[in-house]
Structure 1
Amino acid sequence: MTAPSLERKALDMRRGACPALSAPMMTGDGLLARIALIDAISPGQLAELCRLAQRHGNGILDISARGNLQARGLTEISAPMLDTEVRALNLPLREGLAVEVPPFAGLDETEIVDPRPVAEAIRQAARGIEGLAPKMCLVVDGHGRLRLSHLLADIRLVAVRSGENICWKLMLGGPETTGKICGVFDDADAIATAISLLQKLAAMGNKARGSDLANGLPVNADAQPSISPFGLFALSNGFHAIGLGPAFGQAKAENLIALCYEAERLGIKSLKPALDHSLLFFGTHEACKALATFAGRAGFITSSADPRGHIAACPGSPACTSATIATHAIASEAAAECADLLDGSFKLHVTGCPKGCAHPEPSALTLCGTADGISLIGRGKAAKPPFASISFANTSASLRRIADLVRIERREGENSAACLARLGTDRLAAAVTSGRP
């Protein structure tokens, strides 16, 4: 088999700027507008957003990997109307620079410190900085249970203990596992340093990212893996949260409205769109369990054991003009047929093109759509040269052969990601081409 050509126009290969509520982006099914929130909203407010998505778009909503809502299928006429009507709801909309905190900030007894005051101070101080990259992002993490360590960040502040003091480790670029350590600071110096770095990046131009300032800095060596947001969590003051999500981060408005109505009926007052395409509903233990039962029957992901939660799939064709494959159909078959492979140790990346928008970091295994079929990439990003190329018709069979090989070869105590890495791409390619594990 020969590797397909990955040559594309430079414009096609860029992941592009973030769509915004007031600056939607054209996709295959119309304009897409992002509704970014900085705090919780009520189930009734989410239901109203869904109704607006039906009225002005095609009624399909995404929940992004970073927990942003996206309304699809807008037109040049309807997009400004959506903007106006969403703003009239007086929601806690994010304006300007993305400064993100974990969804349980201030409610998590395990976190070292509530990160919200530092995040808000940075958000306010950065208002006058212009010329930053469109996707510039800061993370301020109190080092609690449900963290943002796997998400990319230009600048990341993570709470650490230094003797009896609480400080902030500042890192530049990438997820926490590969971020470069810039220093450890108290609150005031952490805020001042973050603002100084943003000013430097603005002076370098709107393509500069945090990693551009990281040359020569040491790599963070003690990052902890993230945990799944799906499932039941006990929080402070008797609160609980249930993490739910639509398969592959996309839902019909009517299904989300029904979920919101049930949440209201159960007495749940607030929710947050959150990391990994999830929705976190906050309420009593009984209400959260009851909502999970309702959501499971409606087809939502309700548990970290659901294999669909271990797949990163972009909208695919026809929703995206760059995509060449129906990613959600492939992902659904993979979840149904290869659940043993999807053990949570890695994200199976299914992408419609080499841009890899759904999972910008390397994955243990990626299926990438091309003009000629599907490329299989091991331990890399979607644009990396493949170890094998297959036809659309052979996708499920090829992935099953890889899953069977891992099942046969997995050592005691070894997870799927470690087994895939040990086997190497030559063994994986041989399994795919030979027709047997």
Structure 2
Amino acid sequence: MTTLFLDRSTPDMRRGACPALSTPMQTGDGLLARVALIDVITPAELAELCRLARRHGNGILDISARGNLQVRGLNETSAPVLDADVRVLNLPLREGLAVETPPLAGMDDTEIADPRPIAEAIRQGARDIPGLAPKMSVVVDGGGRLRLSGLLADIRLAAVSSDEGIRWTLLLGGTETAGRVFNVLRETEAVSAILALLRKLGEKGPKARGRDLAAGLPTNGAPGQPASPFGTFRLSGHRFAAGIGPAFGQTNAESLIALCDEAERLGIQSLKPAFDHSLLFFGAQTACEALTAFAGSNGFITSPSDPRSAIAACSGSPACNSAAIATHELAAKAAEECGDLLDGSFKLHVTGCPKGCAYPQPSALALCGTTAGLSLITQGKAADEPFASVAFADTNNSLRRIADLVRNERQAGENSAACLARLGPRRLAAAVTSGRS
């Protein structure tokens, strides 16, 4: 996608450019502005954001994989007005470097340590560091139920318990599993170590990322499957959280306003966007359960067993100029017809083009739109070599054949991701081509 900075005459064509509230990005349905929050807001405030999205854009909102709100359908006249109107709401907006903490930080009695003080110190310290990449991100993860182990990060601090007390593992690049171990630190050392690394990256220029400092370091290889944010979670202080999300990360203003109004009626006073395209609402157990029931009956995802939660789909055509396929239609059909394949062990990546914005890491199975048809990739990214290519008209049949193969070949105790990896590209290609003349 192309980023259009409103104070410039030339579009920014960098792949690494990142939209923000004051620097929206050009897409197929207009400019897209990102509203990034660092703390909870009220249901009434989210509802007002929806009304602003309807007034200034096309009324379509995204919740990104990293838990950012995105307003679609803006233009060069309405985007600056949205910026001004959002700032009048006095929301806890993120300015500058993305420093992320788990959505239950400080409320989760299972976390090893509260990461928020370290994260805030890094935010403040990084304000004057020039030259950082637009998509530079730091994760500070204190552990607990909803850790951010599956998110990509340039620099990551992960709390660990040891005989000597709490320590923080410092990782560079990738997810928590794939990240490279740089050091293990005491809390008093963590902030200065992160800021020193950020300065070094800034000196290398805006194309430098955390992985560029990781050569020769060992991978962490630690935790397994990240937890899903969908469902109901017990928190400290007799509070609960309800994890709810729109299908494929996108909804319209009216549906989200209705959800917020119901949350207010139930006495829920705070919420925050979270990873995996979700919203977490905080309140009493009965209120959270009632809101979950309301959301489920109105088309939202409310459970990790929902096949739609196992699909990462970009906006697709016509919302994105780069997209060759209507990704949401394809994803909805996959969820409807291949639910047993989508067991939560992997993300089915459905992307409109090889950039793969919705899931920038390898997937057990990816479907990528091209001008010639659909490419199918296993154990790779959207731009990797496909094991098969099919015409658009044969997309659904091809996916059903893969689902049937996995169902028939899955061994006892084996999940879909493991089965896909064991079958390999040749068996998958043979399944896709079977039945085609």
TM-score between both structures, scaled by the size of structure 2: 0.96
Unpaired runs of at least 5, structure 1:
1-10
Change (3 A) 1:325 1:12: farther
Secondary structure of 1:380's aligned partner: coil
**Alpha-carbon separation, structure 2, partners of 1:44 and 1:143:** 30
Q: Is the 8 A contact 2:225 2:345 kept in 1?
A: no
Q: Residues 251-289 of structure 1, C-alpha deviation per residue, up to 9 Å, x if partnerless?
A: 000000000000000000000000000000000110000
Corresponding position: 1:272 with 2:260: no
Change (3 A) 1:13 1:308: farther
- The equivalent residue for 1:42 is 42
Give the AA of the match of 2:406.
V
- The equivalent residue for 2:81 is 81
Higher normalized contact order (CA 8 Å, seq sep 6+, divided by chain length) = 1
Q: Residues 277-313 of structure 1, C-alpha deviation per residue, up to 9 Å, x if partnerless?
A: 0000000110000001100110000000000000000
Give the AA of the match of 2:213.
L
Give the AA of the match of 1:151.
L
Secondary structure of 1:295's aligned partner: helix
**Alpha-carbon separation, structure 2, partners of 1:281 and 1:189:** 34
Give the AA of the match of 1:341.
L
- The equivalent residue for 2:170 is 170
| Superposed counterparts of 1:249-288, under 5 Å | 249-288=249-288
- The equivalent residue for 1:159 is 159
Corresponding position: 1:311 with 2:311: yes
**Alpha-carbon separation, structure 2, partners of 1:352 and 1:200:** 36
Q: Residues 209-256 of structure 1, C-alpha deviation per residue, up to 9 Å, x if partnerless?
A: 000000011110222321100001000000100100000000000000
Q: CA deviation at 1:14?
A: 6.0
Corresponding position: 1:241 with 2:247: no
Unpaired runs of at least 5, structure 2:
1-10
- The equivalent residue for 1:58 is 58
Q: CA deviation at 1:12?
A: 11
Q: Residues 124-175 of structure 1, C-alpha deviation per residue, up to 9 Å, x if partnerless?
A: 1111101100000000000111011000000000001121411110000000
Q: CA deviation at 1:190?
A: 1.1
**Alpha-carbon separation, structure 1, partners of 2:435 and 2:367:** 18
Question: Larger deviation: 117-126 or 57-66?
Answer: 117-126
Give the AA of the match of 1:355.
K
Q: Is the 8 A contact 1:13 1:354 kept in 2?
A: no
Change (3 A) 1:12 1:316: farther
Q: Is the 8 A contact 2:33 2:70 kept in 1?
A: yes
Q: When the two structures are aligned, how many residues end up with a matched partner?
A: 426
- The equivalent residue for 2:4 is none
Q: Residues 13-52 of structure 1, C-alpha deviation per residue, up to 9 Å, x if partnerless?
A: 9643110000001000000000000000000000000000
Give the AA of the match of 1:339.
G
Q: Is the 8 A contact 1:15 1:357 kept in 2?
A: no
Secondary structure of 2:428's aligned partner: helix
Corresponding position: 1:404 with 2:397: no
Change (3 A) 1:93 1:13: closer
- The equivalent residue for 1:3 is none
- The equivalent residue for 2:434 is 434
4+ long deviations beyond 4 Å: 11-14
Q: Is the 8 A contact 2:378 2:425 kept in 1?
A: yes
CA RMSD in angstroms, aligned pairs only: 1.2
Q: Is the 8 A contact 1:68 1:273 kept in 2?
A: yes
- The equivalent residue for 1:229 is 229
| Superposed counterparts of 1:13-412, under 5 Å | 15-412=15-412
**Alpha-carbon separation, structure 1, partners of 2:219 and 2:134:** 25
Q: Is the 8 A contact 1:267 1:287 kept in 2?
A: yes
- The equivalent residue for 2:416 is 416
Q: Is the 8 A contact 1:375 1:390 kept in 2?
A: yes
TM-score between both structures, scaled by the size of structure 1: 0.96
Secondary structure of 1:99's aligned partner: strand
Give the AA of the match of 2:235.
L
- The equivalent residue for 2:5 is none
Secondary structure of 1:49's aligned partner: helix
Identity of aligned residues (%): 71
**Alpha-carbon separation, structure 2, partners of 1:235 and 1:126:** 31
Q: Is the 8 A contact 1:154 1:173 kept in 2?
A: yes
